[in-house]
């Protein structure tokens, strides 16, 4: 997992807040996916003996637990997506207000990443399999945070220092 504390802080506080939220969302998602992964692997390694019949109540409890985990993952994916929409909207608003010269390229990159995130989300809606869990865990722990760090140290740094130099507020 990428540690937000190790990423450079920008001149605009609202951007730092949004970035922290994005790292928190991704970390929470990763923790839950790992839990789901462990659960599925445990079930594979230690399958219930077929001869032992479970009571209906026990079966219902197991179904509820896995249902609740999959609902929690769905909620976290939704939260990451909604928080990212807000994060990008706030930056784009700021670019407009300050006539930031490179806003077209920056907004295009935001758009690309939102589409990518929506695709990842739709994988989960289509299929909660082991391979989807593994794929999303890699997205939450590695691909998305690494993209974010790279974006912060490049496009966002340029934006924040431009706005800061042109009298933008830091909160």
Site for Fe ion, rule CB under 5 A:
91, 156
Of 10, 164, 2, nearest in space to 87 by CA: 10
Nearer to Fe ion, 30 or 106 (CB): 106
Tokens matching residue 89: 């909207």
22 vs 36, beta carbon nearer Fe ion: 22
DSSP 152: I
Nearer to Fe ion among residue 28 and residue 155 (C-beta) = 155
Q: How far is the CB of 158 from Fe ion (least distance, A)?
A: 10
Closer Cβ to Fe ion, 61 or 153, answer by number: 153
**Distance between CA atoms of residues 19 and 9, nearest Å:** 10
Q: What are phi and psi of 7, to 5 degrees?
A: -90, 145
Q: At its nearest, how many Å lie between Fe ion and the CB of residue 15?
A: 5
The DSSP-derived string for 29-84 is HHHHHHHHHHHHHHHHHSPPPTTSPPPHHHHHHHHHHHHHHHHHHHHHHHHHHHHH
Question: Least distance in Å: CB of 87 to Fe ion?
Answer: 6
How near is the Cβ of 95 to Fe ion at its closest, in Å? Answer: 9
Q: Between 124 and 139, whose beta carbon lies closer to Fe ion?
A: 139
For tokens 């970035």, the residue is 19
Shortest reach from residue 17's CB to Fe ion, in Å: 10
Q: Is-contact 82 118, C-beta < 8 A?
A: no
| Torsion angles phi and psi, residue 48, rounded to 5 | -65, 130
Residue nearest to Fe ion (CB): 156
């Amino acid at each position: 997992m990428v540690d937000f504390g190790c990423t450079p802080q920008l001149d605009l506080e609202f951007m730092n807040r949004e970035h922290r939220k994005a790292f928190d969302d991704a970390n929470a998602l990763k923790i839950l996916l790992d839990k789901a992964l462990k659960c599925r692997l445990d079930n594979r390694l230690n399958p219930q003996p077929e001869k032992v019949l479970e009571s209906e109540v026990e079966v219902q409890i197991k179904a509820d637990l896995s249902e609740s985990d999959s609902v929690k993952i769905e909620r976290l994916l939704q939260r990451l997506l909604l928080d990212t929409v807000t994060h990008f909207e706030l930056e784009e608003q700021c670019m407009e207000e300050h006539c930031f010269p490179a806003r077209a390229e920056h907004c295009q990159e935001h758009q690309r990443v939102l589409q990518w995130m929506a695709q990842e989300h739709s994988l989960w809606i289509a299929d909660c399999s082991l391979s989807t869990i593994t794929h999303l865990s890699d997205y939450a722990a590695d691909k998305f945070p690494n993209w974010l760090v790279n974006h912060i140290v490049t496009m966002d740094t340029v934006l924040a220092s431009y706005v800061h130099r042109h009298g933008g507020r830091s909160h």
